[in-house]
A and B are shown apart, each in its own frame.
Chain A
Amino acid sequence: MSRVNEGAAWTILGYLISGPLFWGGIGWALDKWLVTGYFLPIGLLLGMGAALYLVWLRFGREG
């Protein structure tokens, strides 16, 4: 059971990549659509925040 945690680093990296990828992608598409410039940074920050929250939910609680 202890070695399952060995995969924690890989799982965290996966979340951290896919969070900004998804929400940043949506922000990028909104920027293209509405011809604005501020949705991409918002999406990136939102995605990274959500990914960090997910990491905390999975690995940070109780321990």
Chain B
Amino acid sequence: MRSMFSFRAEGSEFIPPSSKDFVLPPIFGDNEFTTKPIFLVIFSVVIISIFFIAASRKASIVPSKLQFAGESVYAYVRNDLGKDIIGHEFMRFVPYLFTLFVFILTNNIFGIVPLIQFPTMSRISFAYVLGIITFGVFHYVGIRHHGIFKYLKDILFMPGVPKPVYILLTPIEIATYLIVRPLTISLRLFANMFAGHLLLMIFILGGEHLLQGAIGLKLVSPFAFAFGIAITFFEFLVQCLQAYIFTLLTALYIGGALADEH
């Protein structure tokens, strides 16, 4: 009975996937700017450009299917994320929000596309760059809108508090606006993509490893693969959601910077 559930070859121990599996070697020589994530970013820019140029080129009143697909994504970002949250000046920010949404969505979905199967944002530096851009945009917008002193005063001094309490509260406000906001917005995106990719690897690699075992283990491995496929669909949901949340938070921060008071 025992032999039915064991591995024949000694030393064929299962090596669980770890964070080392995310460090991919350079494709061309030693140049570390030619790794897979970099190519994925460039590839995503190319396919997004091709898709939206094709979708908007022969724009007509009765839209083709392609035009309809492109326009519904655009309308969704403009109305649900731009107009509802930022308010009457939203049109200035729609290009940024739209680019951000489509870029993150495409790069996330690379995680479940066969043959590519690597979400670019599971390398944290990409998420950090996006977070820093958003951070720069919303502070710049706020400073331009209010002037630097009024903007800082709005952030740092909550109205209606006795003066000594500011010693307690102002550092928290500074930490929130300068450190925690850009950090959490990037970490949330990164951690979701990282964990999702790790989960997929565990089920697929584990199923493959079970196939190398005795007959009892071979019979179990389809369940691991089936669960891997189920997780893939779940990941699709998470990837869309994370792209949405990143854009939503960007819009909320811009809207908050433009708001007249807290």
Contact = CB atoms under 8 A, between A and B. Distances in A.
A53 B158 CA distance: 11
Contact of B158 (A3, A13, A47, A54): A54
A47 B172 CA distance: 8
A15 B160 contact: no
A9 B169 CA distance: 19
A46 B107 CA distance: 41
Interface string B142-171: 000000000000000010110001001101
Interface in B172-222: 172-173, 175-176, 179-181, 184
A36 interface: no
Contact of A18 (B168, B175, B255): B175
Size band of the interface chain A makes with B: 20 to 34
A43 to B, nearest CB: 11
A63 interface: no
B231 interface: no
Given A3-B85, A14-B180, A50 B172 contact: yes
A45 interface: no
B161 A57 contact: yes
B70 interface: no
Interface of B: 84-85, 87, 158, 160-161, 165, 168-169, 171-173, 175-176, 179-181, 184, 248-249, 252, 255-256, 259, 262
Interface of A: 1, 3-4, 6-7, 10, 13-15, 17-19, 21-23, 46-47, 50-51, 53-54, 57-58, 61
18 contacts: A4-B252, A6-B248, A7-B85, A7-B256, A14-B176, A14-B180, A14-B184, A18-B175, A18-B179, A19-B175, A21-B175, A21-B180, A22-B172, A50-B169, A54-B158, A54-B172, A54-B173, A61-B160
